[in-house]
């Protein structure tokens, strides 16, 4: 699923004419020099840290960009494992106040996303039990794995946290739902065929269609701004050994996310092609507002499994560009609907802890 990888700085520019002429002026917040590396200032400005404890990730914008919905396991908010919260990101003070809880507080939740009417969808295991399902412990074979809980289903809820509808009701894992910017379709990952494939459905849960058909974990899919394409991550085992490993882990309800590449296709699954071929883990892709580029997280330059940084690439696979330059973990980049902002998760400024927090910045990278 779109889980966290729990691994383990004021520039001013003089005006050339008058204070009203901002063509050569970049307004910088004091936080930019504290939270951004110099190389990142060509892409971000006026960065704001939203959360200050626990693991916070997968923040997604409401259609009007006023709210962000996200998952957090911050014990200070009463979460013993990932739960879904919402914030008015411009005005809320999450350092001192708990945001509105939208999930039930039971089970484990993930992959929330806004619908056009400001209701949300999210995946939850609460029908399988009120307690948080167990996290896989260290394995004797040393493999890093993610759990694929079969009790995950997709639900919709209002802004007070009341469940409105259960959208999936098939045996096995259903989660990782995201909504088309057109507001008409949901794409999600499901085990209903015995493999982790992508499916689409209408926002009311009807007209379910299978999108991918090849062996391997297809997940974390997002629509292009015009709703015509999908970008997603996939582990596609090819050799006999790779296939056996994948299928054996899947029988245990596990996947190994350390070897993933990006794939792109039309929204109906046609014209499928591999977008990246970088090695290691390339994931959390999201379309640039132009629809011509994709931003994503990758550790392909790492020698120890981390750091993860953000990169951007053209949809034809050219023009790979590094965006962030942190030494730990940057991931889950998501552009606002108007293209003016970007939200992402990062281990920066966490006081040496393993906390992963949310950051919003103005996007000036074009």
Distance CA 155, CA 123 (A): 6
Kind and range of the H or E element at 249? helix 240-251
pLDDT (0 to 100) of residue 20 = 36
pLDDT (0 to 100) of residue 304 = 84
> CATH number of the domain that 93 lies in?
2.120.10.30
Q: What is the pLDDT of residues 124-154, one digit of tens each?
A: 999 999 999 999 888 888 889 999 999 999 9
2 within some domain: no
72 within some domain: yes
pLDDT (0 to 100) of residue 250 = 97
Q: Are 82 and 122 in contact (CB under 8 A)?
A: no
What is the chain's mean pLDDT, rounded?
93
Distance CA 125, CA 107 (A): 5
Bridge partner residues of 179 (DSSP): 186
pLDDT (0 to 100) of residue 71 = 98
92 within some domain: yes
Distance CA 51, CA 232 (A): 27
The Cα-based distances of 114 to 118, 158, 206 in angstroms read 6, 10, 18
pLDDT (0 to 100) of residue 9 = 26
Distance CA 21, CA 24 (A): 7
Is pLDDT above 90 for 23?
no
9 within some domain: no
Q: Which residue has the tokens 């006023």?
A: 66
φ and ψ at 127, to 5 degrees? -70, -20
Is pLDDT above 90 for 25?
no
Domain that holds residue 85: 30-363
pLDDT (0 to 100) of residue 93 = 98
Closest CA to 7 of 316, 308, 324, 314: 308
pLDDT (0 to 100) of residue 331 = 98
Q: E-assigned strands of 167-228?
A: 174-179, 185-190, 197-202, 209-210, 217-223
Is pLDDT above 50 for 3?
no
Distance CA 217, CA 196 (A): 5
Q: How many domains does the chain have?
A: 1
| Contacts within 8 Å (CB) and 24+ apart, 188-197 | 188/154, 188/221, 189/1, 189/217, 189/218, 189/219, 189/220, 189/221, 191/148, 191/150, 195/250, 196/148, 196/250, 196/255
pLDDT (0 to 100) of residue 27 = 75
Q: Are 32 and 352 in contact (CB under 8 A)?
A: no
Q: Are 86 and 92 in contact (CB under 8 A)?
A: no
Q: What is the pLDDT of residues 64-108, one digit of tens each?
A: 999 999 999 999 999 999 999 999 999 999 999 999 999 999 999
294 within some domain: yes
pTM of the model: 0.92
283 within some domain: yes
Query: Which whole number is the average pLDDT over 208-216?
Result: 98
Query: Which whole number is the average pLDDT over 316-322?
Result: 98
Distance CA 136, CA 330 (A): 23
Q: How far is CA 136 from the centre of its chain?
A: 21
Is pLDDT above 80 for 222?
yes
Question: In the 3-class helix/strand/coil scheme, how is 49-87 assigned residue by residue?
Answer: ECCCCCEEEEEEECCCCCEEEEEECCHHHCCCCCEEEEE
pLDDT (0 to 100) of residue 305 = 84
344 within some domain: yes
16 within some domain: no
Q: Are 213 and 197 in contact (CB under 8 A)?
A: yes
Q: Are 291 and 277 in contact (CB under 8 A)?
A: no
pLDDT (0 to 100) of residue 1 = 55
Query: Which whole number is the average pLDDT over 333-343?
Result: 98
pLDDT (0 to 100) of residue 19 = 34
Q: What is the pLDDT of residues 257-268, one digit of tens each?
A: 999 999 999 999
């Amino acid at each position: 699923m779109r889980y966290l990888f729990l691994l383990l700085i004021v520039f001013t520019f003089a005006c050339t004419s008058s204070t009203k002429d901002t063509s050569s002026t970049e307004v910088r917040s004091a936080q930019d020099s504290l939270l951004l590396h110099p190389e990142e200032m060509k892409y971000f400005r006026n960065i704001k840290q939203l959360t200050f404890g626990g693991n916070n990730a997968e923040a997604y914008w409401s259609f009007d960009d006023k709210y962000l919905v996200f998952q957090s396991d911050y014990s200070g908010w009463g979460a013993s494992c990932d739960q879904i919260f919402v914030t008015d990101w411009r005005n809320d003070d999450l350092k001192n106040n708990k945001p509105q809880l939208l999930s039930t507080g039971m089970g484990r939740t993930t992959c929330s996303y806004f619908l056009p009417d400001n209701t949300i969808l999210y995946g939850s295991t609460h029908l399988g039990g009120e307690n948080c399902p167990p996290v896989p412990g260290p394995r004797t074979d040393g493999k890093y794995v993610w759990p694929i809980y079969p009790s995950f289903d997709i639900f919709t809820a209002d802004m007070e946290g009341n469940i409105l509808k259960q959208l999936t009701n098939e045996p096995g894992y259903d989660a990782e739902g995201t909504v088309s910017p057109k507001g008409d379709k949901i794409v999600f990952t499901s085990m209903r065929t015995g493999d982790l494939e992508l499916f689409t459905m209408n926002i009311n849960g009807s007209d379910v269609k299978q999108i991918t058909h090849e062996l391997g974990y297809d997940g974390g899919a997002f629509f292009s701004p015009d709703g015509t394409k999908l970008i997603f991550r996939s582990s596609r085992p090819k050799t006999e050994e790779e296939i056996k490993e994948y299928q054996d882990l899947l029988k245990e309800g596990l996947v190994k996310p350390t070897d993933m590449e990006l794939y792109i296709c039309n929204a109906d699954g046609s014209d499928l092609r591999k977008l990246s071929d970088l090695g290691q883990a390339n994931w959390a892709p999201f379309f640039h507002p132009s629809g011509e580029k994709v931003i994503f997280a990758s550790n392909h330059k790492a020698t120890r499994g981390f750091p993860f940084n953000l990169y951007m690439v053209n949809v034809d696979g050219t023009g790979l560009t590094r965006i962030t330059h942190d030494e730990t973990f940057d991931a889950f980049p998501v552009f606002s609907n108007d293209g003016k902002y970007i939200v992402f998760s990062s281990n920066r400024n966490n006081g040496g802890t393993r906390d992963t927090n949310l950051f919003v910045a103005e996007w000036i990278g074009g």
